[in-house]
Amino acid sequence: MKLSGLKRPFAAAVAALLLVTAHSSMTVQASSPSHGLSAFDELKYPADFKHFDYVNPDAPKGGSLSMIGTAGLITFDSFNNYILKGDAAQGLSFVYDTLMARAFDEPDAVYGLVAHGAELADDKKSVTFYLRPEAKFADGTPVTAADVVFSFDVLKEKGTPFISFPLRDVEKAEALDDHTVRYTFKGDLVRDLPLSIAELPVLPKAFYEKHPFDETWLAKPLGSGPYEVADFKPGTYVTYRRRDDYWAKDLPVNRGQFNFEELRYEYYRDRTAELQNLLNGNFDLREEFTSVDWATAYNVPAVRDGRILRKTLPDMRPSGAQGFMINTRRKKFKDPRVRKALDYAFDFEWTNNNLFYELYERTGSYFENSDMKAQGKPSSAELALLEPFRDQLSAEVFEEVYSPPVSSANGQDRKLLREADRLLREAGWTLQKRKRKNAKGEQLSIEFLLFSKAFVRVINPYISNLKRLGIDARIRVVDSAQYQRRIKSFDFDITTTRYVLPLTPGLEMINYWSSTTAQTDGSLNLAGIANPAIDSLVDKALAAQSREELTNITRAIDRILRATHYWVPHWYKAAHHVAFWDKFSWPETKPKYDRGIIRTWWYDKEKAAKLNKR
């Protein structure tokens, strides 16, 4: 059972915002034009590459793919993907091109799309992109430097914080001519800025003169990407049609990709309805996020006879940080001992055995499933980073890294509950007639805020343990719109979310953990983390000049986060469970850091014909 924290479709696309320039011996430090960018390493693909290794360059075009998109998105009322207002439709990233396109078999590399090259200044304080003259929007008008500058200006000024925060140190963008744009940086944390810019959507200035950027609307958006909106019904479905006149369809970064004639996203109010409609053939493909369903709900004739396939795709990306995020802005959660007690009350082992069919592993780290995860005691390199903050940090940071407790899996581990009781008493919350109260006589209460009932079965046993500790715990399930409003304004006690970190963590760490975002409505710093040591280390991470240096810094950050107990960690699986009707094919090589389904699969006419005869 995975989930997306804030239900913003653009989040996944922008989670890759943080990539930078290089080719061959030319890394980000290069001052000559390059066809691609990468944070630390040499680029895999040379300037004359024909296509990415994980595509079939001869894949047939045609057919359709109908699917459920990001888990938890149950409605939409807008085609404006870049503001906090409204619920934007899924798939909009395929409407817009970017200056450079991601290679999903490298940790942090992008290659020329709208821009054929980029040049970083010797002092690293500016980068210049050179646009392709042939780039065009879907209405046939050219993509110009004015559009690129407009895109940057409006996204920085009015875009969702997930977009605007990484751009805060980009001082300005200027059009040197119709096909050349220069971005100027301020400050010292500039390493990731060229990549942040390279993956911004290019928006048509003329379109937004008629459609206010800071408002929701359902007008057909205009972009320069491979797809355009074809048909939709708000809250029910949206269909995208592949553009036959797409200007960049033969570029190396696109060859063998975007093979479906149509992409259709279906919306259902709950996952049970999703699953039944998949099994009934009402759409084609669904990623399963609920372990009990993956284990038991697919025992139907269409699966048994092979009409529906179930495929497990390995996920080599960091698994992210999924858990119960505790809102430390609220006074009752200020003491880390209270937060740690909540961790001891959650019985993951019972949950995994009884609800998840043992399909998951316990998450311990904010950098789970990666070498950025802290382990054991701090290394000498980590200690050097942590020592300046020793007086500000708990002793726990300098010991064996904190890991969640392991229970006896009986659902009511008395040893762990006794430890939770001890921590609460130390923090001033004592039992008074079976109620956990502070010195003022106020009972400790907790409300879990949800937008879906899917987690109720997980939280109810947890609530039982919390009540044994004298805590007044309850669940509140609200509709999608109310959930978004309350999350954006931090109006909750505890909620469930999942942070997905890129392979080269950078500017998004500010949005997740920086003091500057703790009180910024709409940020992803749900726990309200405001820790000077973390702030300093995030700055160091953004300035790191090698992957080894970055890894040591992220491990130090991980130690502080885990020892300060901002969350009750959940679980993870390093795989995607996908069920789909057998009418698709895919390349021999899967992109290492992506599912690859929308970009690299194709509709197989022979399989579809056989399926129709069964």
* Chain segment 557-573, per-residue pLDDT in tens: 999 999 999 999 999 98
What's the rounded Cα separation, in Å, for the pair 555 and 545?
16
Residue pair 164/156 in contact by the 8 Å Cβ criterion? yes
Confidence of residue 340 (pLDDT cuts 50, 70, 90): very high
Q: What percent of the chain has pLDDT over 70?
A: 95
Per-residue pLDDT, 28: 40
Non-local CB neighbours of 308 within 8 Å, separated by 6+ positions: 278, 279, 298, 300, 302, 579, 580, 581, 582
Pairing of strands 285-288, 575-581: antiparallel
Residue 31: per-residue pLDDT: 52
- Residues 6 or more apart in contact with residue 351 via CB below 8 angstroms: 458, 461, 571
Average pLDDT, the chain: 92
Q: Report in angstroms the alpha-carbon separations of 509 from 165, 397, 593.
A: 10, 19, 20
* Among 66, 74, 64, CA closest to 9: 74
How far is CA 84 from its chain centroid?
A: 16
| Nearest-angstrom CA–CA distance, 239 and 263 | 6
Given a contact cutoff of 8 angstroms between Cβ atoms, the answer to whether 445 and 470 are in contact is: no
CB 256 within 8 A of CB 539: no
Structural domains of the chain sorted by starting position, each given as residue range(s) with its CATH number in brackets: 1-316+574-614 (3.40.190.10), 321-572 (3.10.105.10)
**Nearest alpha carbon to residue 115 among 191, 231, 42, 33:** 33
pTM of the full structure: 0.77
The 3-state DSSP class for residue 128 equals strand
* pLDDT tens-digit readout, 8-67: 333 333 333 333 333 333 334 345 789 999 988 789 999 999 999 999 999 999 999 999
- Sequence-separated (6 or more) residues with CB below 8 Å from residue 279: 298, 300, 302, 303, 308
pLDDT at 563 (0 to 100)? 98
Instruction: Kindly tell me if the per-residue pLDDT of 303 is higher than 90.
Output: yes
Cα first-last separation, the chain = 32
pLDDT of res. 614: 80
Q: What is the helix (H) or strand (E) element at residue 185, kind and residue range?
A: strand 180-185
- Which of 25-29, 119-123, 264-268 is the most confident on average? 264-268
Give the phi and the psi of residue 435 in degrees, each rounded to 5: -120, 135
Q: Burial, 414: exposed, middle or buried (Cβ in 10 Å; 0-12, 13-18, 19+)?
A: exposed
Query: What's the pLDDT band for 316 if we cut at 50, 70, 90?
Result: confident
CA 393: distance to chain centroid? 29
Q: Which has the minimum average pLDDT: 71-80, 321-330, 436-445, 525-534?
A: 71-80
Q: How confident is the model at residue 486 (pLDDT cuts 50, 70, 90)?
A: very high
Q: Which of 596, 606, 613 is nearest to 256 (CA)?
A: 596
- Interatomic CA distance for residues 412 and 410, integer angstroms: 6
